[in-house]
């Protein structure tokens, strides 16, 4: 009875998979935030290295992973694929549940997969410091980890709600030598503007992005680094899905249902895109792809598919994506990494095209699923990953009703060792289930930029 | 350039290695705490299951691991063996540094190796609840994890200094369904006695053990479970060293130096005993075995080798071991798991016989080593494991001087995700290096029980 399926270091994917190659029509281009015209590589080069801009726009199916990046990724990759036998037994389901376990990376989530690549390309092009934002702290600590290995400086703007909930994520960044600042801060114009309007704001990813972009744009030796949303970030995460494909094949299986949570969309893309590609190209046309988001920030289930800014201040290019409006500030749910008004353009496109089906859950039912998982599989997951656990359990329970022996695969994107204040609130019955903030979203959507 | 050496689940050891089989003369027996006569199995059966008592006294070389225990261990075992190439490069050492990474278990340390086995044997003998103590919280959360998988209840007495430093370890135990109480508590006579004498005491493992033993002795459905020190605990940890032997052999190596930290001694025993056995039996007579302890609690380097109680209140049998005196309360260093007045009788015996060499370090130099490790290997270790990191770095630097290409192996026994308040104190320059508390130790040793 095998529990986990491992691959050797030599079996780690040598190329990233680019789903843009397999889309029936090309992606809508990003637009310049001021002119509204399609953004050119030159528009982006004051904050990104050229190679990442190239990857952002590339339609090549595979892009080689540099040797130095592979060497560092093998500190924890390939990550294990688990068969959740104890969970299956507890649910009395005929389904098979597999999960990819990304919590084995030193910072504890999938985020280093792209952090390492981004730090590498920036250092190759002479950049000495990276500025970024972080929600739950997973991305900030991943980039701090990456820059530490490449001997670069790092400044992280951390959403204040998470900064207060997870003080030790900040300490982790400091152990790796990075600077961590609660956002909104008085370091940037964008931050000062929000603070002037609401000094008590919990912050949001959209605000923190504005601050980091402004910081990078104002310093020659500094670039901006984004932990999710963009095409090149999704690309770097596809090692997850490629490994998972090999691993389920070792167990002689292929997933009927593939599940991940979506904040910006990168862990979702990472696991799902190789399977979405197989679905798009007709190799496995029937795979069900489910994207899970919080009901309090229901970008994919209730947002509009349109052009919007990636940040609050409107400094980023306009991206065509599902959005709740770039100045929408979601309620302070504990899954800080899922509090984003938009979503990856690639994931949004797949949802729009009906390739991916989104679902939304409230946080109490999500933590209930996380507790079931902890007490059967033993792993205490991050609140973000718990959304995927909840959907996987629901799918498995559906199979118990129908008797179907489906193969369910989900991405367990990170551990919850920094989330115990959230678990405490749940166990104490003090976790609010926020209503979908319809009026706020309407208001925010009414301020959508006009398409260029 | 391979970084980590993995084994398949099928390659996990099927037997525990019992070093008692390879000692030149038998161990001195434990003595009854009141009569001073050798303790019989009957003396112990009110707090331990018979099978663990049998293992405690066994001199069979190998003891089979039950299938159900193996099934659960494979949730994370075999654990990876790493070659610390990036650390080697940073130190410019000709030495090879390997480490066994036990932080991959769900609770994040080596402790579940024995927690699973102990919960299993207790459940097999009809026990419904386990009572235990915990220092840094690693053991308490490991036993909470184990009892949760076997559907048993669990009560953990947690040393107050750690309870305050690491609130989230408590939450982890609660997520697994256990009850966690700061020790000394008013639940037990032993706890009340200490509190009456010093209400502000940081507590100690010795006190918490008294409380847990008393709790177990007073409840029929409850047994006591110890996370270290005893022979059967050391036995269960030997999966670590057996795996490591196989893994270094895959790299065509054999260690010249084997290093681990010692609190009660179980992670040390786990990695080292298979190598100590090979040293004792003349198969590898020249392996250097180093045990690392905190200078503030220098049991092996400054203690006496004699009979003493395992706990403060004198409820446990008398064990022949190195001790600083059973009522010695060590300074509140951050490596809570190493704050114990005694040490495993087996490890003590090996030190006494000159098979193992003990060294002691102050906590600032230990955290400095941990920071070097985090910024090269990426892993942020627990303060306990950082003691082993420090010794490994010192050995590697010695090799840089001498030019020797030694093979160094150490046990990286757990992650530091619950230890960021300690790292913060270190980074802020606020970590005291306690002097060896000579007078307190002398006083405590003067109260040693008379040998039976």
Give the nearest chain B residue to A168 (CA atoms): B420
- Whether the upstream peptide bond of residue A140 has omega within 30° of 0, thus cis, is no
Beta carbons of B6 and A8 less than 8 Å apart: yes
Residue B284 DSSP one-character state: S
The answer on pLDDT for A149 being more than 90 is: yes
- Asked if the Cβ–Cβ distance from B3 to A174 is below 8 Å, we say no
* Residue in B closest to A11 by C-alpha: B2
Question: In Å, how far is B138's CA from the nearest CA of chain A?
Answer: 13
Residue B178 CB partners (closer than 8 Å, separation 6+)? B140, B143, B144, B147, B148, B153, B154, B155, B156
- Within a 10 A sphere around the Cβ of B421, how many other Cβ atoms? 16
Number of CB atoms found within 10 A of residue B112's CB:
29
Residue A125 to chain B, least CA–CA distance (Å): 22
Q: Which of B234, B235, B243 is nearest to B266 (CA)?
A: B234
> What distance in Å separates residue B372's CA from the closest CA in chain A?
10
Rounded to two decimals, the ipTM of the complex is 0.94
Q: What is the mean pLDDT of residues A291-314?
A: 94
Tens digit of pLDDT for each residue in A171-222? 999 999 999 999 999 999 999 999 999 999 988 888 999 999 999 999 999 9
What are the b/e assignments for B169-200, b being 16+ CB within 10 Å? bbbbbbbbbbebbbbbbebbebbeebbeeeee
Our CA-based measurement puts residue B371 at a distance from the nearest CA of chain A, in whole angstroms, of 7
Mutation to test the B interface, candidates A3, A180, A378, most B Cβ within 10 Å: A378
Number of H helices, E strands in chain B: 19, 15
CB of B259 within 8 A of CB of B410?
yes
Which of helix, strand or coil describes residue B428? coil
Q: What is the spatial distance between Cα A261 and Cα A292, in angstroms, rounded to a whole number? A: 4
* CA dihedral of A55, A57, A60, A66, whole degrees rounded to 10: 0
Least CB-CB distance to A378: which of B149, B168, B371? B149
- B421 CB-near residues (< 8 Å, 6+ apart): A168, A171, B165, B166
Which chain A residues contact residue B427 at CB under 8 A?
A: 174-175
Residues of chain B contacting residue A415, judged by C-beta atoms under 8 Å apart: 417
Smallest Cβ–Cβ distance between B371 and the set A4, A145, A175 belongs to A175
Q: Report CB contact under 8 Å: B4, A108.
A: no
Residue B28 near residue B305, CB atoms below 8 Å: no
B97: three-class secondary structure by DSSP: strand
Q: Which residues of B touch A168 (CB under 8 A)?
A: 168, 417, 420-421
Out of B172, B177, B415, closest to residue A375 by CB: B177
A100, β-bridge pairs:
A81, A411
| B377·A75 Cβ contact <8 A | yes
Q: What is the pLDDT of residues A18-44, one digit of tens each?
A: 999 999 999 999 999 999 999 999 999
Residue from A8, A12, A76 to probe the interface with B (highest B Cβ count within 10 Å) = A76
Interchain pair B4, A75: CB under 8 A: yes
Q: Pick from A106, A175, A377: which is nearest to B423 by CB?
A: A175
Set of chain B residues whose Cβ sits within 8 Å of the Cβ of A174: 423-424, 427
Report CB contact under 8 Å: B86, A375.
no
SS (H, E, C) B98-122: EEEEHHHCCCCECCHHHHHHHHHHH
Q: Which residues of B touch A4 (CB under 8 A)?
A: 9, 74-75
Give the minimum alpha-carbon distance from A313 to chain B in angstroms, rounded to a whole number. 34
Taking CB atoms and an 8 Å limit, are A75 and B106 in contact across chains? no
Please choose, from the candidates B108, B18, B25, B80, the residue with its C-alpha nearest in 3D space to the C-alpha of residue B55: B18
- For residue A189, what are the contacts with CB-CB under 8 A and spacing of at least 6? A214, A313
Does the distance separating the beta carbons of B6 and A417 come in below 8 Å?
A: no
Spans in chain B with pLDDT lower than 50:
452
Query: H-helix or E-strand containing A194?
Result: helix A189-197
What is the C-alpha to C-alpha distance for residues A40 and A226, in angstroms, rounded to an integer? 18
Q: Phi, psi (5° rounding) for residue A64? A: -65, 140
Contact B424 A108 (CB under 8 A): no
* CB-CB neighbors (< 8 A) of A371 in chain B: 175
The answer to whether A1 touches B73, Cβ cutoff 8 Å, is no
Q: Which of A148, A168, A417 sits opposite B375 (nearest CB)?
A: A148
Distance from CA of A102 to the nearest CA of B (A): 12
Across the interface, whether the CB atoms of A4 and B149 are under 8 A apart is answered: no
More confident residue, A247 or A337: A247
Q: Is the dihedral of CA B104, A108, A270, A236 positive or negative?
A: negative
Does the pLDDT at position A452 exceed 50?
no
Whether residue B378 and residue A4 make contact (CB cut-off 8 A), yes or no, is no
The residue count for chain B: 452
Residues in A whose CB is inside 8 Å of some CB of B read: 1-4, 6, 8-9, 71, 74-75, 86, 104, 106, 108, 145, 148-149, 167-168, 171-172, 174-177, 371, 374-380, 415, 417-418, 420-421, 423-424, 427
Q: Over range A316-322, report the average pLDDT.
A: 95
CA gap B172, B396 in Å, rounded: 36
- Percentage of chain A exceeding pLDDT 70: 99
Question: What's the residue count for chain A?
Answer: 452
Whether residues B171 and A423 touch (CB distance < 8 A) is answered with yes
- pLDDT at residue A451 tops 80: no
Average pLDDT over residues A137-166: 94
Test mutation, A12, A75, A163, A174, chain B, max B CBs within 10 A: A75
User: Which residue of A lies nearest to B76 if distances are taken between CA atoms?
Assistant: A4
Cβ of B420 and A177 within 8 Å?
no
Helix axes B138-149, B167-175, angle to 10 degrees: 10
The answer to whether residues B54 and B94 touch, using CB atoms and an 8 Å cutoff, is no
Instruction: Summarize pLDDT for B368-383 with one digit per residue, the tens.
Output: 999 999 999 999 999 9
pLDDT of A450 reads: 62
- Inter-chain residue contact B417 with A418, CB threshold 8 Å: yes
B153-159 and B179-183: which strand pairing?
parallel
- Determine, for residues B374 and A176 on separate chains, whether the beta-carbon distance falls below 8 Å: yes
The first and second tokens of residue B434, run together, are 């306690």
The verdict on a CB contact (< 8 Å) between A377 and B6 is no
Nearest Cα to Cα of residue B56 among B193, B225, B215: B225
Chain A residue numbers touching B177 (CB-CB < 8 A): 375
Element (H, E) at B179: strand B179-183
Number of H helices, E strands in chain A: 19, 15
Mutate to test the interface with A, among B84, B173, B378, B424 (most CBs of A within 10 A): B378
Asked if B171 and A374 come within 8 Å (Cβ–Cβ), the reply is no
Residue given tokens 């496995």 in the structure block = A284
Judge if pTM exceeds 0.90.
Answer: yes
């Amino acid at each position: 009875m095998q529990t986990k399926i491992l691959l050797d270091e030599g079996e780690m994917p040598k190329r990233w998979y680019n789903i843009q190659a397999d889309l029936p029509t090309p992606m809508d281009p990003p637009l310049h935030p001021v002119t509204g015209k399609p953004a050119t590589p030159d528009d982006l080069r004051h904050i990104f290295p050229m190679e990442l801009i190239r990857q952002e726009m590339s339609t090549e199916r595979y892009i080689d992973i540099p040797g130095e990046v592979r060497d560092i990724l093998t500190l924890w990759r390939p990550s294990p694929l688990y068969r959740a036998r104890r969970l299956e037994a507890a649910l009395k389901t005929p389904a098979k549940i597999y999960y990819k376990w990304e919590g084995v990376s030193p910072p504890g989530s999938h985020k280093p997969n792209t952090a390492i690549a981004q730090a590498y390309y920036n250092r190759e092009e002479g950049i000495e410091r990276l500025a970024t934002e972080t929600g739950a702290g997973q991305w900030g600590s991943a980039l701090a980890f990456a820059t530490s290995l490449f001997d670069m400086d790092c400044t992280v703007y951390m959403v204040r709600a998470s900064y207060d909930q997870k003080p030790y994520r900040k300490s982790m960044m400091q152990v790796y030598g990075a600077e961590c600042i609660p956002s909104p801060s008085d370091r940037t114009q964008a931050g000062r503007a929000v603070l002037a309007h609401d000094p008590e704001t919990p912050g949001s990813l959209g605000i923190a992005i504005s601050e980091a972009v402004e910081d990078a744009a104002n310093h020659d030796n500094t670039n901006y680094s984004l932990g999710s949303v963009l095409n090149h970030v999704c690309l770097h995460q596809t090692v997850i899905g490629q490994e998972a494909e090999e691993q389920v094949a070792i167990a002689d299986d292929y997933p009927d249902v593939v599940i991940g949570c979506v904040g910006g969309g990168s862990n979702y893309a990472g696991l799902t895109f190789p399977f979405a590609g197989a679905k798009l190209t007709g190799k496995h046309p029937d795979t069900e792809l489910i994207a899970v988001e919080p009901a309090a920030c229901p970008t994919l289930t209730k947002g509009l598919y349109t052009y919007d800014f990636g940040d609050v201040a409107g400094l980023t290019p306009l991206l065509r994506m599902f959005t709740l409006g770039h100045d929408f500030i979601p309620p302070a749910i504990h899954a800080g990494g899922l509090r984003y008004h938009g979503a990856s353009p690639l994931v949004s496109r797949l949802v729009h095209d009906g390739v991916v089906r989104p679902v939304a859950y409230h946080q109490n039912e999500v933590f209930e699923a996380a507790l079931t998982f902890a007490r059967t599989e033993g792993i205490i997951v991050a609140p973000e990953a718990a959304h995927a656990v909840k959907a996987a359990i629901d799918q498995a329970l559906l199979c118990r009703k129908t008797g179907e022996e489906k193969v369910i695969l989900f991405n367990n994107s990170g551990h919850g060792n920094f989330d115990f204040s959230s678990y405490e609130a749940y166990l104490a019955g003090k976790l609010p289930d926020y209503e979908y903030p319809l009026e706020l979203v309407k208001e925010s959507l009414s301020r959508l930029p006009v398409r260029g």
